[in-house]
């Protein structure tokens, strides 16, 4: 994650839904216990924070929606260039097929097409969440937010990070193929 971009969350409880979400504006490589905020199922801060002045990421509501809809235990959001470009090139979704790396997100390397949905960006996380829910493809642990980046999720933070790495590689490869003559600096 470059600078303070991106955010992370982990589900603490399911009923009621509670997530630990990174606080806004912090370098994710330097996080401590005091740099997370506990939020409810709508992404709003709940009482009793480790650092009461900490503000949750503006995207906490989308993290909560993803966790609720997919059953994920953790969500990672990154501002990856490949996702931004893929969303521009394929606004109706990015089709991936015939790549061994698809196994890393639970799909066959051959004889299967996987579509990573693309949804519009916005500042109202309730609307972005509704777009996510409408576009969500069960079994695909990622969604691209146009001109923003992408979210990936998993059973825990380790698996969510793994899905980020794999989906980013798949998107970089697909974008590089789309741009003949472009340097493949990945």
Q: Are 123 and 151 in contact (CB under 8 A)?
A: no
Phi, then psi, of 140 in degrees rounded to 5: -110, 110
Output DSSP code: residue 112. -
Output DSSP code: residue 135. H
Q: What's the token pair of residue 71?
A: 């059953």
User: From the CB of residue 25, how many other CB atoms can be counted at a distance below 10 Å?
Assistant: 12
Q: Are 170 and 102 in contact (CB under 8 A)?
A: yes
Closest CA to 103 of 65, 136, 141: 141
User: Any idea how long the chain is?
Assistant: 186
Domain over 7-178 is classified CATH 3.40.225.10:
yes
Write out the E strands in 69-157: 74-78, 94-97, 113-116, 118-119, 142-145, 149-154
Would you call the peptide bond into 85 cis, given omega within 30 degrees of 0 as the criterion?
no
- Least confident piece of the model among 71-75, 76-80, 110-114: 110-114
CA distance linking residue 25 with residue 49, whole number of Å: 17
Tens digits of residue pLDDT in 14-63: 999 999 998 877 666 777 777 889 999 999 999 887 777 778 888 999 99
Distance set, CA 162 to CA 31, 137, 147 (Å) = 19, 19, 22
Identify the pLDDT of residue 118.
98
Q: Is the pTM of this model over 0.85?
A: yes
> Would you list the domain boundaries of the chain?
7-178
Tens digits of residue pLDDT in 83-141: 999 999 999 999 999 999 999 999 988 888 999 999 999 999 999 999 999 999 999 99
């Amino acid at each position: 994650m470059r600078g303070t971009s991106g955010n992370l969350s982990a589900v603490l409880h399911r009923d009621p839904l509670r997530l630990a979400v990174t606080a806004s504006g912090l370098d994710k490589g330097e996080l401590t216990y005091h740099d997370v905020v506990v939020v409810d199922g709508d992404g709003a801060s709940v009482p009793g924070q480790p650092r009461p002045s900490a503000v949750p990421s503006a995207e906490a509501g989308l993290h909560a929606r993803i966790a609720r809809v997919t059953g994920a235990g953790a969500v990672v959001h990154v501002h990856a260039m490949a996702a931004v470009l893929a969303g521009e090139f394929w606004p109706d979704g990015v089709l991936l097929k015939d790549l061994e790396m698809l196994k890393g997100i639970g799909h066959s390397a051959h004889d299967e097409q996987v579509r990573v949905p693309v949804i519009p960006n916005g500042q109202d996380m309730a609307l972005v969440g509704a777009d996510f829910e409408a576009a969500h493809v069960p079994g695909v642990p990622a969604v691209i937010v146009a001109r923003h980046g992408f979210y990936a999720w998993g059973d825990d933070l380790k698996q969510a990070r793994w899905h980020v790495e794999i989906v980013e590689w798949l998107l970089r490869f697909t974008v590089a193929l789309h741009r003949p003559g472009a340097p493949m600096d990945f």
